[in-house]
Amino acid sequence: METTVHRDALTRFGYALSDTTRTQILMSLRSAPGYPSELAEQIGVSRQILSNHLACLRGCGLVVSVREGRHTRYELADPRIGRALDDLIGLVLAVDPSCCPSADTDECC
């Protein structure tokens, strides 16, 4: 049975995964919690860009921030998010290149 809550959660998850940087952040946090400076370096973006994406992921309810003195650690909000990502990684998709030319564009069927 689908509810508005389920639909909203899936929409937020889909929105988060629709951006390559946000996907990389989630994939990194799937393995272990991380700090912004380390995540920015690992992903290859500026701290400002990373901060904007972390704010989006927090707003979507997918990550949480944990204060550690003067530092902030980020982690997935729920361990099931990591398991969902694992399941998605295991999917094998038959992609029609004429329909979805690139994963980096917003254009699709």
Domains and CATH numbers, the chain: 20-82 (1.10.10.10)
The pLDDT tens digits of the residues spanning 49-104 come to 999 999 999 999 999 999 999 999 999 999 999 999 999 988 877 778 777 666 55
Q: What are phi and psi of 64, to 5 degrees?
A: -130, 155
Q: What is the CA radius of gyration of the chain?
A: 15
Q: Considering the entire predicted model, what is its pTM? A: 0.81
**What's the rounded Cα separation, in Å, for the pair 75 and 4?**
26
Whether the CB-CB separation of 26 and 1 falls below 8 Å is answered with no
Query: Residue 68, SS3?
Result: strand
Q: 35 CB contacts (<8 Å, ≥6 apart)?
A: 71, 72, 73, 74
- What is the model's pLDDT at position 97? 77
- What is the model's pLDDT at position 103? 54
